[in-house]
Every structure is written in structure tokens, then in C-alpha cells.
Amino acid sequence: MPLNRQRLLRYAEYAAVSASVAGAIAAVATRQVIYGVAPLSVAAALNLASRRQWEHQIEQRLTQTTTQVGQHFDRLSQRNKLIEQRLRSLPEQPAADSPQDNDRQALREDSSRLIQALTDDIQGLRQSVAQQATRSSLESVSAELHRLQQSLAALEALNLENRLQALEQLPPEQQPVVDGWSLPIAQLNTDLNQLRADFTQLRRDVARLEALFRDFPPAPQETVEPPAGDQPSSDFQWVPPQLPSAQDFTLEINLGIDFGTGFTKVCFRDLASDRSEIVTFTKTDEADLEQALLCTKVAILNDGTLLTGLTATEWAESKQPIQKTIEFIKMRLAHLDLPEKAEWRLDQVPELDDPETVENICAYFLSTVITRAQEWIQQNRADLFINQTTRWSLNTGVPVEYCDSPALARFQRVLSLAWLLVNTPSSQQSLTINSLNQLGTYLRQWIQQNEDMPLDCFANPEITAALWSFLSSREVKDGKFYTFFDFGDGTLDGTAFRFWREEGELKLDFYIGQVRPLGVTAFTQQTASELQTTPVAVRQALLNWQLEAEHDLHNDINGSQTRHHIKQLVGTVVIGGKEKHKANRRLVARDELGDQLDVFVGGGGGHNPFLQGTVEVTHRDFNHINSGVPPYRIRRIPVPDKLSTNGLDPREFHRFAVAYGLCIPAWEGPEIRLPSEVESNENPSLRWPDRETRHDDMKDVT
């Protein structure tokens, strides 16, 4: 569009807007709406015309620039052919085995290989630009340019100029050969210089395209489901999940994965036996606690690929160049449905702004855990798999509060994605966040298209799993009211419940569940911030709580607001659970409380004297005796007899209690009612999908 017409249209639009303001004032003064409507209509029409003409101008510029890019492609291709021809035209030297001859032959081979790669890259770049001009196609162009730049860098790394000069400086007796090479060498140098110049111009052209796209107004977004047979356009080949057959299996192994906020632990159980084992991720005779704990975090390396599923020891020894580390991924997943508490907020990570990305990151982490656990079991218990057809299944834990919220469906979806990732060939290669998100999109489509296909992975309440060694023992009392507090690395999970047996079946009613970011690491960070000291100092004080004489830091920690938050959670669970128990059980409620309230303390921090003592003093500090709460009796979860710790100290069982309970098949566990179901007296919803069928299957196996 001519410049004067463009300016005229712009000035007319400004005048119409000014008239709209004046018309609005006149409309108010005269109560005649027409004074305001007419100028606004004119302004809108002018704006639409201006926008369409401006878009047309941008499209013309895009076409022109794309044409220029195509011309540079032609020049690059021609230069490549010339370089290859000139290299091939270098005369052969029939004699001798001189260093120059060897270098000449190496030069031919290296150059031919790299120029072929360069030609392939240019062809890919041409195809990308030939696509319709969109932001996504421009990203493809940029990716192809990056690969082209790498090929050019490799070509330049051959140091062609210096090596060609060395070939020119042959001894006098080989002067005839030098004369034959002079012209090809000079032409080759000229072509290489022109190739660099063309590439520089090409980069400028693509930069212009990127600038035009930034200025171009975005089109209205539409949500379009990709066709079922569509293939990803990324750098991985999409292959649908290859799930193993669930028929005719002779060995069934159930994994229990404690998806912790700071560390993830794994146990497994051969369902044909009644024994379970801890997965230590190392040789059983070299077991060490730090090698049995997988850090619940994901690292983004300098090249953009993801690294996860390492033990604490492996992270400490890793030499991989890390760009960014994403921690507390489980809490980030839960906070998509449950609001963050004011006491402590997670660091913002731009890469995790999209909820599906958070789900994909968690699924990728869990898939790595599953794969490593399966490999460890197959290597260290190879005798189990001789002449066997194996069926794997999986349970992971979810806090009770999450089970009674929309978070449960999200956790189950993440677990399903993880299970599919394990069985998807496309996930076996290195992934970036972008390629992981694309893979996640296709897996979600697969789930929708195969919703009738059951997956052998289930989310269950962590507390039930943590207490299984107690609930399945002779120590448990029928019809008793209990509380449990699990100190993880990031969160403190508390619940109150009643356990009983009915016609031989185990029953469990949860009255209340609370989760707060008050685990060991979260507590040390919050307390350090409150007391204006370092997290290391606070953590060291907690570790040496009983060994050191009292000093100012001990007193400050005891009086901290963060410690008070722990006692508040304990008080809320105890009093809230007691009141709901009373409303549910009425006359027998007092007898089921007993003379002492059994308070179980577990998790990685459950044996810490400071944290355990904080729970214990809540009864006194909050005057629970006046609320009819009997004195607390602090208890620890017993170590089960039928568990192999594989070289770990049995005293560390409290760290693996959840994983142990999760590896037990769900049909052996109690029937569970969540707090909302207890309150409305509903039937339990957390059941194993085909409880009786699977039990009968296992009878046949045994």
C-alpha cells in the first residue's frame, strides 16, 4: 500500500476516535445515543480496514523474505557441489607413503563425509522453509539452521585452509604435483569463503523472518484434536505403547513406589510368596542408605535434555553440566488442585507454568523409577524369571487429603502416563521438555482412545501403606482410634482413623487428613528464614538435638513460629479426628479412645528427637486434657518379619514403610472410607477394580 494512503487511513482512524469521544459527551448531554454510536462505528470500520491492509503488507514482506532465503539455499547448494567436485579433482599421487599423502587422503574422506552431512542439512532446511509460513514452521527452520551451523562448524574444524597450505608446501621433488593442485586449491579456498558469506546472509534473512512473525498479529486460537494417526513432527519417532499381555502369566511382581517429596523409595513383592524386598539400586552386599533413596527431582542439562531417577549418591557423583534443577515436583503436582499454604511457597519455574508440563515431568520421573526398579529386580533376582511369563503391577501412594480431592484423579493420570512411558519405545531416547510434552500429548490421546483398557497401576492412600506392618500384626486392637504423623522431606502428613474387622475383612475409616509443607527440609528452610540463620545450621541442630547442650539456637527453634505450625497441624488432626469419631461412634467413642491415645510417628524424620518431641508436647501445650483427649503414647511402626532389607539396617525401615505397604496387593489391605465418605456415611470408593478376579487368578498361580 502506498505510504500516503497508509498515513491517510491512520489519520482518518485517529479523527474517528476523537469524534467518538466528542460524540460520547454529546450523547450524555443530549441523551441521543446516535451521537456516540455513529463515530464509534466509523472508527471500528477504519480500524478493520487498516488491520487488513497491514496484514496484507506483512504477508507480502514474508513472501519476499522467504523467496530470498530460497535463493540463498540455491547458492549454498551450488557451493557445496563445487567444493565436493574440487576435492575430488585433486590429482592422485601414486607414490609414496608420505605424511602429505596421508593428510590428503584423510582430507578427502573427512571433507566428503562432512559435506554430505552439510548437503542433507541444507535439504532439510529447504523443506522447512517450503512449508506454510507459521510460527511452528519457523521453529523448524531455526532447528534446521542450528544443525546446519553445527555441520559448518565441524567442516571448519577440519582446518581446511591450513591443511591445504601444508599440501602446497611439498618438497621440490614433488613440484609437478604441486603445480597440478594449485588451481583446485585456490578455487576451493574461494568457495569456502563464499560459503561462509552465504551462511551469514542466510542467518540475517531468517532473523528478519523471526522479527516479522513477532510483529504479525496472532490468529484466534482454536483447540483442534490431532488426528488419531498423526505423527509427531519432533525429533523422535512416535511409537504407540507396547503393553505386555495380561494373559497366561506365571509370575506376578507388584512394585510399591513411595513417591516422596524429597526422596522416592521402592519395594517389590513376588505375589506367589509372602515376602517383600527393598530395592537398593546397588548390589545387595554393598547396600547403603543413600544408594537406596532416589532423589525426587529433575535436572535440565545444558543441552536441554532431562536427567532424573538418580540416587543421592549418583547425584553427588554426577559430572553432567546442569542448567537448572526442579525440586519438590510432587508438591508442585498437588498444588495444581490444592492451594499453596502461606507458610512456604515453592520457587517459580517458568518451564512449569503449564499444568500438563508438571504432570509430564512427574510421569517422566516415575517412569524412570519404574524402569530402574524392574532392571534391578531382573538383575539381582534373576532366578525368579527363569522360564516365567511376568506380569508387572504398580502401586504408588497419595496423602489422604489428596485422595479426598480432585488431586487424586491427577495423581492417577500421572501414574498412568508413567506406566505408558515405561512401555513406549519413543521414551527410550533422551527427551527435552518440549519433546516430553509432545510425547505426553500423544499418550493422553492414546488413553482416550483406549479408555476401556485397564492399566496395572493404582494410587492408594500413603497412610494405609505406612501402617500396614502394624495393621497386619497382632499388635493392632480392633475398633481402636489412632493417629499417624509422617514427616517426609518436604511435607508433614497427618491423619486420624478408626480400624476394625468385620466378618474377617479389614476396615478403615479416615476421619481427617492434613498435609502441610513442614517436612524436614521445608522446616529447616522456613525456620532458617524466620530466625535469620542458615538452613545448614538449623539442620545440624536437629541432628544433634540430644547430643548438644542447650544454646541460643535450640531455644530459638523451640520458640519458632514454624515449630508452632507443626503443633497446630497435630492439634487439628487430633481434635478434629476425635470430634468426628465421637459423631460417628457416639456411645462407644470414649471407650475406643482408650486410656492413652496411640500416636504413630513415621517417615524419614519420624525418628528425629526434636520432631517427635514436638508432636508429644502438643498435648500439654494445647491443653488437650481439657478437651477429653487422653495422654499421647508415641509409637513407632514395627519392622515386619517378612521383609528383606537387602543389607540395609532394619532400623531404617521407617523410611521404607510406605513403599513396603504399597507393594502388598490391595486385596489383602483394608477397605477404606475417606473423610467425606465417613461424614456422609457413604460406601467406600477406594477398592481394587477387580478384587475377587485377581485373587482367584493368584490361587491358580500358587
pLDDT per position as a tens digit, 295-319: 999 999 999 999 999 998 899 899 8
Q: What is the pLDDT of residue 699?
A: 36
Cβ proximity of 144 and 124 under 8 Å? yes
Q: What is the pLDDT of residue 214?
A: 53
Mean pLDDT of the chain: 76
- 441 domain-assigned: yes
Average pLDDT over residues 389-397: 92
486 and 448 within one domain? no
Return the C-alpha cell found at 591: 471407650
211 and 125 within one domain? yes
Please list, in sequence order, all residues whose beta carbon lies within 8 angstroms of the beta carbon of residue 139, skipping any fewer than 6 positions away. Answer: none
Q: Which of 615, 637, 659 is the last residue of a domain?
A: 637
Terminal-residue alpha carbon distance, the chain: 83
**Strand pairing class (251-258; 390-398):** parallel
Cβ proximity of 557 and 531 under 8 Å? yes
**CATH number of the domain where residue 505 is located:** 3.30.420.40
Q: What is the pLDDT of residue 88?
A: 61
Q: What percent of the chain has pLDDT over 70?
A: 61
Cβ proximity of 155 and 84 under 8 Å? no
Asked if pLDDT for residue 477 goes beyond 80, the answer is yes
Summarised one tens digit per residue, pLDDT across range 31-69 is 554 555 555 565 555 565 555 565 555 555 545 555 555
Q: What is the pLDDT of residue 306?
A: 95
Cβ proximity of 270 and 393 under 8 Å? no
500 and 405 within one domain? no
- 553 domain-assigned: yes
422 and 494 within one domain? no
Q: What is the pLDDT of residue 193?
A: 60
**pLDDT band at residue 73, thresholds of 50, 70 and 90?**
low
**pLDDT band at residue 95, thresholds of 50, 70 and 90?**
very low
Q: Which of 395, 427, 460 is the last residue of a domain?
A: 460
484 and 454 within one domain? no
- 643 domain-assigned: no
- 121 domain-assigned: yes
* Per-residue CA distances from 166 to 99, 171, 477 (Å): 10, 11, 90
* Per-residue CA distances from 304 to 228, 255, 434, 456, 639 (Å): 29, 31, 9, 32, 43
135-157 and 175-215 helices, crossing angle to 10°? 160
275 and 424 within one domain? yes
Is the Cα torsion angle 609, 606, 613, 522 positive or negative in sign? positive
Q: What is the pLDDT of residue 460?
A: 87
Range of the domain at 446: 251-460
Three-class secondary structure of residue 501 per DSSP? strand
- Region of poorest pLDDT, from 11-15, 354-358, 366-370: 11-15
The CA distance from 540 to 610, in Å, is 12
493 and 420 within one domain? no
- 601 domain-assigned: yes
- 40 domain-assigned: no
Asked if pLDDT for residue 150 goes beyond 70, the answer is no
- 326 domain-assigned: yes
Q: Specify the amino acid at residue 45.
A: A
Q: What is the pLDDT of residue 47?
A: 61
Return the C-alpha cell found at 429: 531416547
278 and 207 within one domain? no
Structural domain tally of the chain?
Answer: 3
Among candidate residues 656, 658, 646, the one with its CA nearest the CA of residue 284:
646
**pLDDT band at residue 187, thresholds of 50, 70 and 90?**
low
Among candidate residues 384, 379, 381, 408, the one with its CA nearest the CA of residue 396:
408
155 and 276 within one domain? no
The CA distance from 93 to 86, in Å, is 16
- 31 domain-assigned: no
397 and 543 within one domain? no
Q: What is the pLDDT of residue 453?
A: 85
Q: Which of 400, 435, 460 is the last residue of a domain?
A: 460
Q: What is the pLDDT of residue 452?
A: 83
483 and 428 within one domain? no
The CA distance from 528 to 562, in Å, is 10
Summarised one tens digit per residue, pLDDT across range 586-614 is 888 888 888 999 999 999 898 999 999 99
**pLDDT band at residue 3, thresholds of 50, 70 and 90?**
very low
490 and 417 within one domain? no
Q: What is the pLDDT of residue 616?
A: 96
407-422 and 433-449 helices, crossing angle to 10°? 100
